[in-house]
Every structure is written in C-alpha cells, then in structure tokens.
Amino acid sequence: MSISERASDSTDFPGWLVQEFSAAGEFTALVVLVDITDATITPLCSTYFNVVGAEVDWSDMVVMFAGSGADWSGAAFFPVRASGGGPLDNPTARVQLRQLEMRLDEDRLVLNEGHFFDKWGRRMHVDEVPS
C-alpha cells in the first residue's frame, strides 16, 4: 500500500464535516484509527459517535482519539445514517462498525470508501502497490 496525500497547509477535516452535515444533517460516524508505515496500514481500534452539528474541530478529534491509548497516524470516517435519516441506534452502529472492521481486515482499500485523514487532519487516499 502507499498513501498519497494532497498538499495542504491546514486541516481538511472541518470542510469535510460541514459539507457532510449540510448534505443530509445528523449522522453516525464509524471511525477507524490506523498506523501507517511505508508499506502497510494496520487498523488499531475503532469507535462510532453521533454527529449532531458541524462545530467539531480537528483538535477535538485528536483529544478524543488520545483516549484510545493508540499511537495512531491516520483516521478514517465513514458517515452512515438510519433508513429514515439521522444517526443510527447503538446496536445497529455496533453491527455496522464490526462489518466495516471485517472488510478492512480483508482489504485496506476500503479506507477509500470513507474519508481518510492523517494525524494533522489532512485528507489522504490509499493507493494499491503493484506486487
């Protein structure tokens, strides 16, 4: 795997969050923290939380992720909504998070289906490396 970053002088996260929230309102964010090395991406831990406004800053995310105890270098956000709109209920969020974890175990390119950021909040993309 390789990671291609778009050059950015500041965090891309707030713009993404405002756009996502403006598009359809409240949602549940499934989040996977990863460790990135030159040739590998390793999922470390995951969580979910409900987004009920777009006032969250990247620094708020960094503080929240510090509570995981993981030495992470990337975070992928997967916005999901209930069938009628809005955040998922807790049991459904847990099931969908587990399904996401299983898919990521099989294929790290699944990270590109979400919104992938480095530890500075800059958008990232995973590229497949030819064998």
**Alpha helices (H) along the chain:** 13-24, 58-66, 90-106
Q: Does a structural domain hold residue 7?
A: yes
User: What pLDDT, on a 0 to 100 scale, did the predictor assign at position 2?
Assistant: 45
Domain with 111, as residue range(s), is 2-126
In whole angstroms, what is the distance from residue 44 CA to residue 32 CA? 7
Q: What is the spatial distance between Cα 46 and Cα 105, in angstroms, rounded to a whole number?
A: 12
What is the tally of structural domains in the chain?
A: 1
- Is 9 inside a domain boundary? yes
Residue 131 inside a domain? The answer is no
Does residue 15 fall inside a structural domain?
Answer: yes
Q: State the pLDDT confidence band at 131, using cuts at 50, 70 and 90.
A: low
pLDDT tens readout for residues 42-83: 999 999 999 999 999 999 999 999 999 999 999 999 999 999
38-51 tens-digit pLDDT? 889 999 999 999 99
Measure CA 37 to chain center: 18
